[in-house]
Amino acid sequence: PLNTRKCKGETVRDSLAHVAMGADAINFFQWRASAFGAEAFHSAMVPHAGEDTKLFRQVCELGATLRALADAGVQGSGLAASDAAILFSAESEWATRSETLPSMKLSHWHDVRDWYRAFLNAGARADIVPLAYDWSSYKTIVLPTVLILSGADTRRLAGFVQAGGRVVVDYATGLLDARFHTWLGGYPGAGDGLLRSMLGVRGEEFNILGAGAEGEPSEIRLTGTGDSSTMDGAVTRLWQNDVTVAGPHVQVLATYAGEEADEWELDGTAALTRNAYGAGEAYFLGCDLGVSDLTRFVSGWLAAQPQSSRQPQVNSQPQSSRQPQVIGATPDVLHTVRQSDDAIFDFYLTRGRSDVELRGIAGEPIVLFRAERGSDGGAYTVHRNGVLVVKRPNPSL
C-alpha cells in the first residue's frame, strides 16, 4: 500500500547486506521506470526524473563498490557458518495454514524470522537451514513451530543432542508426522515419544488465548525459578502447553504465574525447561514469546559462549554524544565472514541509528561505505546504514 523511499545509504547498504550473506550478484527490477501501465510507479534504477538524480548516482556507486569486491576476490567465496541454525520446513509452513489447528494464528515463517531477529538483537548470528539438510556441524539448533516432524528427523535430533549438541524446541513443534497424523501419547509426540523423552516433558493440552471472550485473560506472564530470573515478566499471548515434568534431570527455568495463569490452571506449570540428554542438552519453550523475550532467552542461555573466537572491540556512539560507551558484542553491528582458499573477508554492517566505532580490525579495507578509517590503522567509524569490508589472509594456508 505504500511505496516508501529508501533512507540515506539504504540502496547500497541493503544490496551489500545480500553480498555479506553469500550473494555473488545483485539484480534489480527494473532498469528504467515505466512511463505507463500497472508498474508505472514501480521503483527503478533510473527514475522518471532521469540519470541526473540521487538515485541513479547511488546505483552507480553501488556498481563501483561491487566491482571493487569482485576485484578483491569476494565472488565465489563461501559464507562462513555461524554456531547456531534455525531450521526451516516448507511442510510446516504449509501445515500452519490449515484451518483445523487449535489456532489459526500459527505461522512457522513468522516464528523463524522472530528467532533470527532475536539472535541478531543478542549480538549473535544464526543461519536459517532447511530441516532436510545436514545441520549436524552446528552447536545449537532451533526448531520454531516445526509442526510436522517425521520419525527419521526426530531420531536425527536425538542423535545430535546425545553427541553433545544443543536443541531448542518451541511450543508447536513435533505435533504431526509427515502424513499430517497426530503423534499420540502426549505433546510433543514426534518419533513415537522420542521427542518427549529428549525434552523430559509431557504435554496434556494446549491453552489457546485470543478468543476475545469478555473477561478472559489475553496474556499470561512468566516468572523465573530458583536462581534464574532471565525470563521474569516475559509474556505469552497465543499458545501455552499444559505440561508435566517427566524426566529426572529436567531443570525448570520459568513457570506461568499470576492471576491469569491461575484462571487457566497453569499457575506454577513449567513454561521453559532444560534437560540433559546424553552429552548435550534440550530446551523446551512451552509458549509463544515476542522478539524481545526471545532475545532475553538467547542472551541468557544460547549466546553465553562467543559465536566467533575473533571479536573486535566495539563502541556505540549516539549521534548526540562525543563520548561513546565501550561495549562488547552488540546488536548494532552485523558481522559476517566470507572466505576463499587464500583470503577471508569480514563484513561489518550497522543495524541501529547510531555511529559505531570498531577497533582492532585486521586486514586491508576493501569497502568504506559511510565509514572512515581512524588514525589507528585498525580503528574505523561506521555511520548509520554504513558498511565496512576488510580482507585478510586465510590463516589456514
β-strand partners of 85: 127, 141
Quote the pLDDT of residue 226: 72
Average of pLDDT values for 340-364? 93
Quick check: 311 pLDDT over 90? Answer: no
Quick check: 298 pLDDT over 60? Answer: yes
pLDDT band at 247 (very low <50, low <70, confident <90, very high): confident
pLDDT band at 3 (very low <50, low <70, confident <90, very high): confident
Quick check: 306 pLDDT over 80? Answer: no
pLDDT band at 225 (very low <50, low <70, confident <90, very high): confident
For 187, half-sphere exposure in the C-beta direction (CA atoms, 13 angstrom radius) is 23
In this structure, of 137-151, 269-283, 285-299, 308-322, the range with the lowest mean pLDDT score is 308-322
Could you identify the residue written with the cell 523511499?
Answer: 5
pTM over 0.85: yes
Q: How far apart are CA 30 and CA 44, in angstroms?
A: 5
Q: How far apart are CA 127 and CA 86, in angstroms?
A: 6
Which domains, from first to last, does the chain contain? 10-72 (no CATH), 84-302 (3.40.50.880), 310-393 (2.60.40.1180)
Quick check: 135 pLDDT over 50? Answer: yes
Q: pLDDT by residue (tens digit) across 141-156?
A: 999 999 999 999 999 9
Average of pLDDT values for 202-218? 83
Give the H/E segment covering residue 342: none
Could you identify the residue written with the cell 509442526?
Answer: 147
Average of pLDDT values for 211-226? 81
**What 3-state class would DSSP assign to 273?**
strand
Q: For residue 369, give Cα distances in angstroms to 19, 55, 135, 348, 352.
A: 14, 16, 34, 10, 16
Sheet with 250-257: strands ordered across = 126-130, 84-88, 140-143, 166-169, 280-285, 270-277, 250-257, 220-224, 235-236
Q: How does 46-57 read in b/e, with b if 16+ C-beta sit within 10 Å?
A: ebeeeeeeebbe
Average of pLDDT values for 377-391? 94
Average of pLDDT values for 60-68? 97
The C-alpha cell of 21 is what? 550473506
Q: How far apart are CA 125 and CA 128, in angstroms?
A: 10
Quote the pLDDT of residue 320: 37
